[in-house]
A and B are shown apart, each in its own frame.
Chain A
Amino acid sequence: MKESELSQEHRRYLAQLRRNKRKILFWQIASIIVFLLLWEIGAKTKIIDTFLFSCPSAIWQLFLVYLENGEIFMHIGISVWETILGFVIGTILGILAAVILWWNETLAKICDPLLVILNALPKTALAPILIVWVGAGIEGIVAVAIFISVVVTIMSAYNYFITVDEDKITMLKSFGANKWQILTKLILPANVGNLINILKINVGMSWVGVIVGEFLVSRYGIGYLIVYGGQVFRLDLVMMGVFVLAVCAWLMYAAINFLEKQITRQLFH
């Protein structure tokens, strides 16, 4: 329906919605600006110790330097690549494993204690071992990212799979469905929303893995910038790393959100 065909009332309602949205966006931007301004002023007037907190202008200057010599792209590129690898491989492996566990209940019961322990364990504790096993380059870092996302994926995907209504499975069986058909026509489509949520969680998980991995071994990447900055007490470098990281993580999250919209539109045109 075109807006011109709507009733007066309805149009007023839409205008109200838009006004609210603009108001919220305004305050979001305003609060960031105020925060940065206060920080900058605090630093200039020496209320804030710039040695510990740096200041926005210094961070920006440093960012420009890194931008000019192109080094920042290399660091971002490497970290993002590691994260995407960890994310994609971890998610696919995790979902595959969850499907296998769903398929074979006995196997699921056998693996249950192992999974519970792995899940309870702070997974970063195993990062040094993994890196020793797999290697101190990108492989090791990606392995850490995979490991962290795969455990969470298996646990949550499997739990989603087994909570699908038993009666719906019976309904499919009454048509003579085999296990593969139950999986593809019921279990997976019923969990599209849940699987997308797993993707969202895994973006975060993979970043944790990559940053921890880079803290431990690497010579490049955002994690390396942060840990190096910390070691030489260059807090502007640390802060810049954190901001770049935040932007990258947010962009990846936004990409998943976009994907979610596309998929739901496909499903329920």
Chain B
Amino acid sequence: MKENSLVHLDNVNMIFYRPDDALHVLYNISMNLHEGEILGLLGPSGSGKSTILNIVAGLLAPSSGQVECHGQIGYMFQRDHLLDWRNIYDNIMLGLEIQKNITPQSEAKVERLLKSYDLWDFRRHFPKELSGGMRQRVALIRTLAIDPDILLLDEPFSSLDYQTRLLVSNDIYKIIKQENKSTIMVTHDISEAIGMCDTIYVLSKRPTNVKAIHSINLTTADEKTPLTARKAPEYQHYFDLIWKEMMQYEGK
């Protein structure tokens, strides 16, 4: 295992058994997540991206292979899963409540998160009064509140329209970098992956294997964000490269 890797998968296989057949989803997946890195998983639908995250989070045991995970995990799902009957503040406290870890420090942290991400004024509101983008940010703060070392994001923006998605991904990128979290992010969107990730794993279709690993190095005038990334000279190159790889698996 490499020195500074927080998550380490070694030849992980996952087979789902059903009464009349077996579904071989993951085939010898190996992966390393380093400290402070945003790792992107790109792959066709049904290739097992969510399954990988579930294995990393310890919600599923792999059929074979090794999983090592160093640190507390924060898992943000495709949908925000806010609880309608709790206000924003109580939704955010959910994880701390479950872990019986509500302390003056954790409360102060939540307060700081709420304030810096423009949700403080809404803390007594209920989820149904918030827009999709705000709900997504609440879900992220709920995940960050337990102070995880490793963030797992499963298509965190897929429920948003294109413009909101750009803005929210920009916000969330900044949050992740500010809080210096190591992250594994699943996405369908190549531009989003290039804009946000330091490393991109391209997955094949089932049984899923890692087809390519790209380190993303972009030259941006200002700080790199998903929005400025699009103007980087290398952007198109990465896009075409990954597009071609994806086309090999998508729909065939």
B98/A175 in contact, CB under 8 A = yes
Is there an interface contact between A185 and B85, defined as CB atoms closer than 8 Å? no
Majority-rule SS of A interface residues: helix
Give bound CA distance, A171 to B152, whole Å.
Answer: 12
A185-B94, A185-B98 known; A174+B83 contact, CB < 8 A: no
- Tell me the interface secondary structure of chain B in the complex: loop
- In chain B, positions 91-123 with a C-beta closer than 8 Å to chain A are 94-95, 97-99
Asked if A175 contacts B95 (CB within 8 A), the reply is yes
Report the count of interface residues on B (CB-CB < 8 A): 17
Instruction: Indicate if B81 sits at the interface (CB-CB under 8 A).
Output: yes
Please determine whether A176 and B85 come into contact, CB atoms closer than 8 angstroms.
Answer: no
Bound complex: CA A41 to CA B75 (Å): 74
Instruction: Kindly provide the distance from the CB of B95 to the nearest chain A CB, expressed in whole angstroms.
Output: 4
Q: Is the CB of A189 closer than 8 A to any CB of chain B?
A: yes
Residue in A167, A185, A192, A268 whose beta carbon sits within 8 Å of that of B81 in the complex: A167
In the complex, whether A76 has a CB less than 8 A from a CB of chain B is no
Query: Which of the residues A168, A170, A181, A186 comes within 8 Å of B59, measured between beta carbons?
Result: A170
Q: Per-position contact with B for A156-174: 1 when CB-CB < 8 Å, else 0?
A: 0000000001011011111
Q: Is A172 a contact partner of B98 (Cβ separation < 8 A)?
A: yes
Structural contact, B97 and A185, CB atoms closer than 8 A: yes
Contact B59 A173 (CB under 8 A): yes
Interface residues of A in 174-218 (CB under 8 A from B): 174-177, 181, 185-186, 189-190, 192
Interface residue A267 (Cβ < 8 Å from any Cβ of B): yes
Assuming the contacts A175-B146, A177-B98, asked whether A186 and B83 have C-beta atoms less than 8 A apart, the reply is: yes
Cβ contact within 8 Å between B77 and A189 = no
- Given A175-B94, A185-B94, A185-B97, the answer on whether A190 and B57 have CB atoms closer than 8 Å is no
- The complex places the Cα of A220 from the Cα of B156 at a distance, in Å, of 65
Residues of A within 8 A of B75 (CB): 171, 174
CB neighbours (8 Å) of A174 from chain B are: 57, 59, 73, 75, 77
- With a cutoff of 8 Å between Cβ atoms, the chain A residues found around residue B77 in the complex are 167, 170-171, 174
B83 and A176 contact, CB distance less than 8 A: no
- A178's nearest neighbour on chain B, judged by CB, is B98
A189: nearest chain-B partner, CB-CB:
B85
Residue ID in chain B nearest A177 by CB atoms: B98
Which residues of chain B come closer than 8 Å to A190, judged between CB atoms?
83, 85
Q: Is the CB of A176 within 8 A of B81?
A: no
15 A-B pairs with CB atoms under 8 Å apart are A165-B81, A168-B83, A170-B54, A170-B77, A171-B75, A174-B77, A175-B94, A175-B99, A176-B99, A177-B98, A185-B83, A185-B98, A189-B83, A190-B83, A192-B85
* A contact set with B: CB distance below 8 Å: 165, 167-168, 170-177, 181, 185-186, 189-190, 192, 267-268
Q: Which residues of B contact A (CB under 8 A)?
A: 54, 57, 59, 73, 75, 77, 79, 81, 83, 85, 94-95, 97-99, 126, 146
The 3 closest A-B pairs by CB, nearest first: A174-B75, A175-B95, A171-B81
